[in-house]
Structure 1
Amino acid sequence: MTTMNEINAFDSLGIGQPTVDNSARTELGQEAFMTLMMAQFRNQDPFEPMDNGDFLGQLAQFGTVSGIDELNGAFSGLQSSIQSDQALQAANLVGRTVLAESGTGSVSNGGGVAGAVELPSSVSNVQIEITDASGQLVRRFDIGAQQAGVSRFNWDGLNDSGQQVADGQYEIAARVQYGNEIESVPTLIESNIASVTLGRGGSGLTLNLAGGEQMSLARVRQIN
């Protein structure tokens, strides 16, 4: 069995194990290619010289392979950088509140739900309707006339009888009145971020909300 002292002794005599330099191997490959190309050029038949197109084609092929290797390396570095940025972004989102388009609000610990509607123009009234998991109407209330833009509302978690509803998920819908016409509009609901899932291969972030709903970061309108 070869001992460490024996290896060191070999090294001192200059007969140790050679090390492999991968960068040198890459450069040797490039040099060998050019050496072969020049040899082919010098040894060609003067009566049948190499066609200019063939010569340029071989150079282009070598340049393409080398360029692809460099490009792959650049993309690999860029992907790693993006994934690192996403991981930092995900860590900073946990525990914060987002306002995002959703038709579901979560009631917990005897609380309520905050939300908003985004209006393209002024309306004479906005009506909010809350229904439970069985589709039963729990609460209906008006927030009155609103200007164009984002108009906020708060449901205190009480039903029409003034009693606190049970914890759970509730459907929240909004209807607006334009003159004599009534139309439904999407609702924006505030939710707490319980955790964040980072997609594989940098595919993006998925927000896991406190009420159990999942959504992509692209759906978020505001982060508090």
Structure 2
Amino acid sequence: MTTSVTNNVGGTGAASATTAALGNTMNQADFLKLLTTQLQTQDPTNPLDNSQFVSQLAQFSQLASTQDLNTSLNNLSSQITSSLQTSQVLGSAGLVGRHVLVPSANLSYAGSALDGAVGVTGATANVQVAIKDGSGKVVRTLDLGTQAAGLARFSWDGMDDNGKPVPPGDYGVTAADVGGDALSTYVDGTVSGVGYGGSDVGTYVQVSGVGGVPLSAIAQIN
């Protein structure tokens, strides 16, 4: 709160105090210092008017009350935010051990079948999923055919297009429709933990084969 005080006072002390106080937003200490300086340097032949003095005291009281209110509101806001964050993390603990679909363009193959999904934005034909090795070479193409809008599920058994098993490791996954337009991909993983990653991340879940994923990014809980 910025408060200006006008009074006919003598001496350079009050003028200097006034200039310093008005140069920035005035706090309680500045206001009290200015008021004290005015009383000490006032012209004895023209003392501070009682009504002005009472008015300045009222302004000081209002300033103090406003600052206290702002502090209380900030503390309350912090407490509410912290409480909501804690509640969200605790509420998400029930996801541990559950399977979830989360956005990902990677598959971590360890020898067992992997499930995923394609985000289809509108009814389209010939939806295809391509599994790629580390060099970007397509090792398996899954033809999902015509799909309605929504999540089109797929499963990869770890075989290449020739029916031979691929070695365990990390693989890329992409999807496209009949027109060649890219579609978003999701992978199925087990939630192993939940946590809070700060204001930028929020509550997140740790998904096997994927890593940390924001809670809001979960597309489906199985």
**TM-score normalised by the chain length of structure 2:** 0.68
Say if 1:149 and 1:87 are closer, same or farther in 2 by CA, change over 3 A: closer
Q: How far did residue 154 of structure 1 move?
A: 1.5
1:82–1:202 CA contact under 8 A, matched in 2: no
Instruction: Find the aligned partners of 1:118 and 1:152 in 2 and give their Cα distance.
Output: 9
Question: What is the deviation of 1:71?
Answer: 1.5
Alignment size in residue pairs: 178
Structure 2 unaligned segments of length 5 or more: list them.
1-46
Structure 2 CA distance, aligned partners of 1:128 and 1:83?
Answer: 37
1:209 Cα offset (Å): 2.1
Quote the Cα distance in structure 2 between the aligned partners of 1:144 and 1:212. Answer: 27
2-structure distance, mates of 1:91, 1:208: 11
In the TM superposition, what is the alpha-carbon distance from 1:55 to its structure 2 partner?
4.5
Partner residue, 2:216: 218
Runs of 4+ residues deviating >4 angstroms: 45-48, 200-203
Q: CA RMSD in A?
A: 2.8
Aligned residue identity for 1:106? S
2:186 maps to which residue? 188
Task: Using the aligned pairs only, state the percent identity.
Answer: 32
- Aligned partners of 1:203 and 1:173: how far apart in 2? 25
Distance 1:203 1:159, change over 3 A: closer
CA distance in 1, matches of 2:207, 2:150: 25
Displacement of 1:212 = 4.8
Listed as ranges, the matches of 1:1-224 within 5 Å are: 47-50=49-52, 54-108=56-110, 110-177=111-178, 181-200=179-198, 204-224=202-222
Native 8 Å contact 2:117 2:154 kept in 1:
yes
SS in 2 for 1:49: helix
TM-score, length-normalised on structure 1?
0.68
Unaligned runs of 5+ in 1: 1-44
Cα displacement (A) at 1:59:
2.9
